[in-house]
Amino acid sequence: MIQLFDTYNEATRDFHQSMFRAGFNFPTVILNENGFLPRGTTSPYRFFMGEEEGQPLYFNEVSVPLNWEIKGTNTSASVWDYHHKRADIHYFTSGGQRLIKAVDWLNEAEQVMWTDCYNQYGRRYAQIIRHGQDAHMKIYFDTAGRDVIVDNYVTGNVILDWQGKKRVFHNRRDFYLFYLWNSELPLEQMIINSLATPFLISHSLPRDGKDILVWHEPLDLEIPGNMQLILTGQTPRCQKVIIPDQTTYQRALDLCQASHLPSESIEPLGYIYPILQEKEFTKEILILTNSDQIEQLDLLLDHLSDFQFRIGAITEMSDKLMNFNHYSNVQLYPNISMGLIQKLLKQACFYLDINHGNEIVDAVRAAFEFQCLNIAFKETLHKEAYIANEFIFSSDQAISMINTIKALGHSQKLWQQAISSQINQSNNVDEEKYQFLFSE
C-alpha cells in the first residue's frame, strides 16, 4: 500500500501523522512538490531530481552581487541595490526561523521576472519563469544543476530529461503514471486524498487494486461526481470513502439520502492529535498576534486583573500595543522566538483568539495541542475546528467571555471539563479506530 496525496496541506498533514501514530508507515508520495515536504515522504519530482542532504538556507545566505544588501525581519526579507529593491525573499514559515523557500527577482518596475525555489536542503531546485503576472513554466534541476523537468503551464505538457532520453507527456497525470511505474512502489492498494489527480491516477491503474479515498474537503449542495462513481461501484479500484471530519461525514450521509445514493461505503474517522497529556493548572492567558487590533483587550485586562496576560508578536510591536505595559497583569514579548512561544504555551491554560488580522505561527492549533483552552470572538476567529462551540462569543458578549474565564480559572475541574469538550469537538480519535479501518 502507498499513500498518494495531491498537496501536503494541514488536513493531509493531520491524516499522515495520524497514520504514523497508529503504527502505519506506508510509502507516501506528494504529487505537488513544495521544497519542504516532511522527511519520509517523496514526490515524482524528487525521484527524477535525485536524493540529497543538507540544511535549508537562512535569509541572508542568498547569493547576491557585491555591495547588494539583504534586509530581513521575522516575516520577510528583501534584496537591495542601494535604494533599488531587486528581490523579495519568502520564508517557508512565518515562525521567525527565516528559512528561504522562494526568491522573487524583480525588474526596474519591481515586477517579478522569475522566482527561484529553494528546498529544505538549501538547494535551488526549481525556477518559475513569469511573463507579467502569469507563471509560464517551472523548470526543475537535478542535484548537478541540470534541467531535468520542464512543467509548461501554458500547454500543460511536461518534458522529462532522464537517463539520456527526453520524454514529452501531454499532461501531469501521464507524467505521474510514468513515475509510479518506474518507482517500484507497491501499487496494489492506494490511499488517495483528492478526487482530482490522485483519483484520475487510481482510475488509470490496473483494476486489481483496492483504493481508499480520504476526503478532507467540505461538501456543498451535492456529492461530487467522482465520489458518486465510487459510491455506485463504477470505479475500477476505489471502493471506500473515509471522512475524518464529523460534520462533513454527516453532511455526506444526508446528501446521499436526499439523492438516493448508497452510503454503505462511507466511513467516519477523525485524527489522532499529539495532545500534551499533563498540564499544570495556572491562570495564565496567552495571545499571539502581529496586529495591535486586539478585540476588547482593555475590558478583558480590567476585569481579569488576577489573570496574567502574555502577549507575543514575531515582529516589533506598535506604540499602541506597547502602551499596555502599564497594566500590572500584562507581559509583552515583541520579536518573540519559537522557543519562547512553546514555553509560554506550556505555561498557559487559556489561549485567546481575539486578534484581528492574520493568525501567526498556527497559534490556535498549537494552543490546542498544548492543552490550552481556546476562547475566541466570532469576529476574530481563525481556526474554528480547535475551539469548542460554547467558547466562541460575539464581540458584544465580552462580559460573558470574562465571566466564563473567571469561572474556569477558579476551578480546575471545570477547566478540565472544558478541555475535554474542546478535544471531543475536534474530531479526535484513538489509534484503534485507524487500526480497525486500515488493517483490513
Instruction: Name, in order, each residue with C-beta under 8 angstroms of 349's C-beta and a sequence gap of 6 or more.
Output: 279, 281, 282, 283, 284, 285, 372, 373, 409, 415
Residue of 135, 179, 144, 143 lying closest to 160 (CA atoms): 179
Per run of 10 residues, the mean pLDDT along the chain (length 440 residues) is 96 96 97 94 97 92 95 92 96 81 95 96 97 92 97 97 97 98 95 97 89 96 96 94 96 97 97 92 97 96 97 94 96 94 97 96 96 98 96 97 98 97 94 90
C-alpha cell at 403: 465571566
In angstroms, the CA 426 to CA 429 distance is 9
Using an 8 Å Cβ cutoff, are 380 and 351 in contact? no
Instruction: Name, in order, each residue with C-beta under 8 angstroms of 66's C-beta and a sequence gap of 6 or more.
Output: none
How much is the pLDDT for 416? 97
**109 φ, ψ (degrees, to nearest 5):** -90, 10
C-alpha cell at 258: 436526499
Q: In the chain, what are the domain boundaries?
A: 2-27+185-268, 68-174, 284-426
In angstroms, the CA 71 to CA 66 distance is 15
Using an 8 Å Cβ cutoff, are 130 and 91 in contact? no
**50 φ, ψ (degrees, to nearest 5):** 105, 155
Query: Which CATH number does 284-426 carry?
Result: 3.40.50.2000
Using an 8 Å Cβ cutoff, are 428 and 369 in contact? no
CB atoms within 10 A of CB 133: 7
According to DSSP, residue 6 is labeled S
How much is the pLDDT for 440? 63
C-alpha cell at 27: 510509502
How much is the pLDDT for 209? 82
How much is the pLDDT for 94? 56
3-class SS at 35? coil
Alpha-carbon distances, residue 280 vs 110, 276, 407 (angstroms): 51, 11, 17
Residue for grid cell 483587550: 297
